[in-house]
Amino acid sequence: MRARIVFDLDGTLIDSAPDLHAVANDLLRREGAGDITLDQARSFIGEGTSVFVARMRAAAGIPDSEQDRLLAGFLAAYEGAVGLTRPYPGVPEALEALRQAGHRLGLCTNKPAAPAHAVLRHLGLAGFLDCVIAGDSLPERKPDPAPLQAALAALGDGRPVYVGDSEIDAETARRAGVPFLLFTQGYRKRPVEELPHAGRLDGFDELPRLIAGLAVAG
């Protein structure tokens, strides 16, 4: 049975934290503020760029009144920030295997569309995806189910599956009523056992088997 498989991006298909960390610290240094750590940058990812900047700003002790200005500065640098980002091991191979098996693949991310498309092109992943729903594609963002539902609708028929790495992704899938596969090597903050999921993968070599199992179960 063919599946409609929608992926999160940051922390699921790609490790973008090093680039986000570099952009954040360049901006903070220009403000005369101290750096954030890579672990902090990872912990700030998941709820969109505005939330990332708000958390970065709070960690540096910069007042709320500077949010809009700093967000504009961050977004100006964000689209070209691809040089340190890498796909997780096995991602291109897994996407190719799923496409060869006849599944349709899409993306649902809170990352804005421009940097999302830029990094997908840079890493050679864009051609695997039949649709991309980004953080500014709709008025709603995850964990609202609307972006995931839009991605699934764009993919047509087939068993729906969402693959992500975080609490936000798990909640999005729950609200949409879609089986959730949890990638355990991403940016989640809570233990695996606390996130509802239909299956877990520690590496992308496991994904085609998990999808096949869900398709049979469906």
Q: Which residues are catalytic?
A: 8
How far apart CA 39 and CA 17 sit, in angstroms, is 9
- Which residues have a Cβ under 8 Å from the Cβ of 11 and sit 6 or more positions away? 17, 42, 45, 46, 164, 165, 166, 183, 186, 187, 188
The amino acid that residue 28 corresponds to is L
Strands (E), 51-203: 86-87, 104-108, 131-133, 159-164, 180-183, 199-201
Strands (E), 36-195: 86-87, 104-108, 131-133, 159-164, 180-183
| Residue where the block lists tokens 């469906």 | 218
- Which residues have a Cβ under 8 Å from the Cβ of 36 and sit 6 or more positions away? 21, 24, 25, 28, 44, 56, 59, 60
Positive or negative torsion for Cα 205, 208, 214, 217: negative
